[in-house]
Amino acid sequence: MTSPTRELISPRHYGLEHHAEHRQLKQPLAMPIRRLRCKVLQFYPTTHMPSSGATTRQELNKLAEEHLEHDLQPSDCDRLNSAVSKLGTHTTVGSLVGIGLGMYMAYRVRRVRMDMFTAFRIVEKPTHVQFASGRIEMVPDLTPFLRPTLLGDIATFGLFAAGGLFIGGEAGLLCGVYSARRTLVKDLESKLRIERAFARLRADILQRQAECLGRREV
């Protein structure tokens, strides 16, 4: 029995003329659609799907490719690719800038520690203390304990680099999402087509998961 969702996205729904146009555009759009299909499937991981059902990575690839071919126009695919590219670029640049700032701050902290250690080492320090009873005790030298070490430098640079990566990556991700959203909403008709295509893809994936779970229960 044919699924209602499958009938909705079938080429018969669009007419033979529209289907013929898509057949003519299929070869030039093959590579962009495959790349876009891989990016779309990143939002639908199969790690939590039933392993013994019909919903597999290959079937999801085919399903996403059919939706992208039938529901979207070439300009929509280009717009989606541009949005995904902007998102990745902003995130990468933000992460690199965050790591650079973190390393710079770690270098500044290390420089301050070295200056403090140098000042503490050259300053005149008491070597003995005399109590009221006349007893004299030696004051231990704390200079070796305050000396910066290689392990401390590694920990400092690692901590600041990780913090910079997190903050810069998150900031870049937010900027990338904003830029990608602006790219997608420039054309209202294209935005509506993309939303409908993703909604139909989600509906098809959920339907296949439901069918798979139903077969497992039986």
pLDDT at 205: 81
Buried b (16+ CB within 10 A) or exposed e, 172-186: bbebbeebbeebbee
- For 4, phi then psi, to 5°, come to -60, -35
pLDDT at 37: 53
Q: What is the pTM of this model?
A: 0.61
pLDDT at 34: 53
pLDDT at 155: 94
Collect the ranges in the chain with pLDDT lower than 70. 1-56, 217-218
pLDDT at 11: 41
Contact, 40 vs 64, CB < 8 A?
Answer: yes
Cβ neighbours around 17 below 10 Å, total: 7
pLDDT at 218: 61
pLDDT at 47: 43
pLDDT at 1: 45
pLDDT at 183: 87
Task: State which H helix or E strand residue 136 sits in.
Answer: strand 136-138
Cβ neighbours around 136 below 10 Å, total: 9
pLDDT at 101: 96
pLDDT at 135: 87
Cα–Cα distance for residue pair 198/208, rounded to 1 Å: 15
